[in-house]
Amino acid sequence: MTSESWVAGSAGSGFGVDNLPYGVFSRRGELPRVGVAIGAHVLDLAGLAAAGLVDDRRWFASGSLNAFMAAGRAAWQANRARLTELLTDETYRDRVEPHLVPRADVELLRPVEVADYVDFFSSEHHAANAGRIFRANGDPLPPNWKRLPVAYHGRSGTVYVSGTPVVRPCGQRFTAPGEAEPSYGPSLRLDFEAEVGFVAGVPSPPGRRVGTEAFRDHVFGFLLVNDWSARDIQSWESRPLGPFLAKSFATSISPWVVPVAALEAARVTPPAQDPPPLPYLRCDEPWGLDLSLEILINGHVVARPPFALMYWTSPQQLAHATVNGASLRTGDLFASGTVSGPKREHRGCLLELTWNGTEPLDLADGTRRAYLEDGDTVTIRATAPGATGAPLSFGEVTATVLPAMP
């Protein structure tokens, strides 16, 4: 189906012509603009538009993808088809090549101006492990868990692009078992959560729900999310209204947004749902996504969570989040919750990997981790089956932990 691109090295790079993820970049001293990853290059869409090679309605000379995301599915399809044509047909090469910028020469910026940020809790393995750790004697899953995709709102103002350092948060927490009172200080149980998110492009009106069948009409694409979490702050503050400061200091996202259309070959049947969900959560199409995640601490792989095993799918999450008539805005970000699987090496956060610090993790450099230390760099990568057979890359979301501020 998909031809190879004339861009040298793009085939097999994870950023072939079957991927074409969108991002925002800047070159030294220049204003941000929209680009697409191809091989080791960024294709400058604002430059292509200025040269008359792609349609542009003030979409691409922009500091975010939001204007293009708001344009809707027909515009997304047309742009993707045109870029495919430009990048595979040798006759365009001379005109397009001037708009290819080596990735090493640009800074990748936050791709999306985030409107609201919703974080789900949709991995059964993660939810059950968390339940076993925090409620040792009860049912590992809360009673609502298989009836609806549990979620909460996070802080959209602290969503940062990959590469932005994360300052260790301070707050109230207990520092040892049996303490009578919490104290104030830096979190001692700083964790990551490996997640996959999607961003809405097309708004929806108040009072109307967005059914599972309308997912593709509203959602522009997928990206990687690290939902940084301070476990000690979280366990103390969360009753009865859920996590707040334990999450609100920082959320990291990858710079590339992979279009929904690039993920057709990644779609798989999700796990069977028992009990069957209520009609508003039913989905006629298989919307499991066979993404392979990889988590690294300081360059050492510590887990490989399988996204295909997520219990609740993305269209179900969107249908649930809007079933009460909550409207969508361009830039709404929905994250999956920690991605975990049945095996230890599938677990997507240190809470699970070290069983809340009781089983420290040995890194390949000989050091051990119960929770994150200052200076640690956490990287999450993912690939998906691509249309050409070769895997398609999500790139990565990475960030280094800085010490708490005085």
d(CA 232, CA 163): 25
- Name the residue nearer to a copy of itself (CB basis): 64 or 156: 156
CB of 347 to a copy of itself, least distance (A): 18
Residues from 108 through 137 that contact a copy of itself (CB under 8 A): 115-116, 118, 121, 130, 134
By beta-carbon proximity to a copy of itself, the closer residue of 91 and 324 is 324
In this complex, which beta carbon is closest to a copy of itself, that of residue 276 or of residue 389? 276
Examine residue 190 and tell whether it contacts a copy of itself (CB under 8 A).
Answer: no
174 part of the interface to a copy of itself, by CB under 8 A: no
- Let me know if 126 is a catalytic residue: yes
Spatial separation of the C-alpha atoms in residues 16 and 11, rounded to whole Å: 5
CA neighbor of 398 nearest in space, from 84, 164, 116: 164
- Residues 160-171 as b/e (b if ≥16 CB within 10 A, e otherwise) read bbbbeebebbbb
Residue 372 φ/ψ, nearest 5 degrees: -75, 145
The residue from 147, 343, 344, 368 that contacts a copy of itself (CB under 8 A) is: 147
Name every residue whose Cβ is closer than 8 Å to that of residue 318 and which is 6 or more positions away in sequence: 198, 200, 210, 212, 215, 218, 219, 334
Which part of the chain contacts a copy of itself (CB under 8 A), choosing from 34-42, 260-268, 275-283, 339-347? 275-283
Look-up of token digits 């009836």: 147
Residue among 82 and 329 whose Cβ is closer to a copy of itself: 329
Site string for a copy of itself, 277-306 (x = CB under 8 A): -xxx--------------------------
Segment lying near a copy of itself (by CB under 8 A), choices 62-70, 76-84, 246-254, 262-270: 246-254
Q: Which helix (H) or strand (E) holds 93?
A: helix 93-96
Residue closer to a copy of itself by CB (options 142, 163) is 142
Report the residue from 20, 24, 199, 230 that binds a copy of itself according to the rule CB under 8 A: 230
Catalytic residue among 41, 99, 125, 126: 126
Q: Which of 91, 137, 183, 358 binds a copy of itself (CB under 8 A)?
A: 183
Spell out the residues 6+ positions from residue 30 whose beta carbon is closer than 8 angstroms to its own: none
The rounded distance, in Å, linking the Cα atoms of 107 and 99 is 16
For 190, the token pair is 């700083």
CB of 141 vs a copy of itself, minimal distance in Å: 10
**Least distance CB 18 / a copy of itself (angstroms):** 33
CA distances from 269 to 122, 283, 332, 380 (A): 15, 11, 26, 24
Q: Are 215 and 314 spatial neighbours (Cβ–Cβ below 8 Å)?
A: yes
Residue 116 or 376 having the CB closest to a copy of itself: 116
Peptide bond just before 142 cis, omega within 30 deg: no
DSSP 119-140: EE---HHHHHHHHHHH-TTS-S
Instruction: Give the nearest distance from C-beta 296 to a copy of itself in angstroms.
Output: 24
Q: Does 233 bind a copy of itself (CB under 8 A)?
A: yes
Q: Which is nearer to a copy of itself, 230 or 384 (CB)?
A: 230
Q: 80 to each of 20, 49, 285, 310, how far by Cα in Å? A: 8, 14, 23, 28
Interface residues with a copy of itself (CB under 8 A) are 115-116, 118, 121, 130, 134, 142-144, 147-148, 150-158, 160, 167, 169-172, 181-184, 206-209, 230, 233, 236-246, 248-250, 275, 278-280, 320-321, 323-329, 332, 402, 404-405
Active site residues: 126
